[in-house]
């Protein structure tokens, strides 16, 4: 036994390790170079998050109803909706399609003709006329 080796190292050298799993060794690649690690990949563009209003692009802030069951609004009701974006709120003419005790789902078309829909807080949606909800 070599005195420069610890008892564990000498034991490992003397045993046959065939058939045992080996710790994986990372392969050197361009992705693991220090300069590459500092770079982040660009955010994937999700077109359903972006809409245009009065010539300016906006990104939606999405809300979800959670476990509350949605009640369909039939026929869809016209409304003025305050849509929340990352750069503030935008007021659009929309149609309400469903509601929960706290949120209302609205749809609208942006200036490019694309249809968007999102859940908004009830206080952000002003209806032209709407029958009383059965959930209240």
Domain assignment present for 69: yes
Domain assignment present for 9: no
User: Residue 111: how many CB atoms within 10 A of its CB?
Assistant: 12
Domain assignment present for 88: yes
Domain assignment present for 57: yes
User: Residue 112: how many CB atoms within 10 A of its CB?
Assistant: 9
Domain assignment present for 105: yes
pLDDT the model gives residue 133: 58
How far apart (Å, rounded) are the C-alpha atoms in residues 63 and 120? 7
Domain span at residue 94 reads 48-127
Domain assignment present for 11: no
List, in order, residues 6 or more apart from 104 with CB less than 8 Å away: 79, 81, 96, 98, 119, 120, 121, 122, 124, 125
Q: What is the pLDDT of residues 13-59, one digit of tens each?
A: 666 555 555 555 555 555 555 555 555 555 545 555 666 767 777 78
Domain assignment present for 52: yes
Q: Is the pLDDT higher at 113 or at 35?
A: 113
Domain assignment present for 41: no
Is this structure's pTM higher than 0.85? Answer: no
The total number of structural domains that make up the chain: 1
């Amino acid at each position: 036994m070599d005195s420069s080796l610890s008892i564990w190292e000498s034991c490992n050298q003397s045993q046959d390790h065939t058939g045992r799993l080996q710790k994986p060794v990372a392969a050197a690649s361009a992705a693991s170079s220090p300069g590459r690690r500092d770079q982040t990949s660009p955010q994937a563009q999700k077109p359903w998050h972006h809409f245009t209003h009065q010539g300016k692009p906006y990104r939606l802030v999405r809300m979800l109803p959670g476990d509350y069951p949605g009640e369909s609004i039939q026929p869809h009701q016209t409304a003025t909706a305050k849509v929340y974006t990352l750069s503030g709120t935008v007021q659009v003419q929309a149609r309400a399609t469903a509601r929960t005790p706290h949120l209302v789902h609205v749809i609208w078309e942006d200036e490019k003709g694309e249809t968007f829909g999102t859940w908004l807080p009830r206080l952000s949606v002003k209806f032209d006329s709407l029958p009383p909800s059965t959930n209240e």
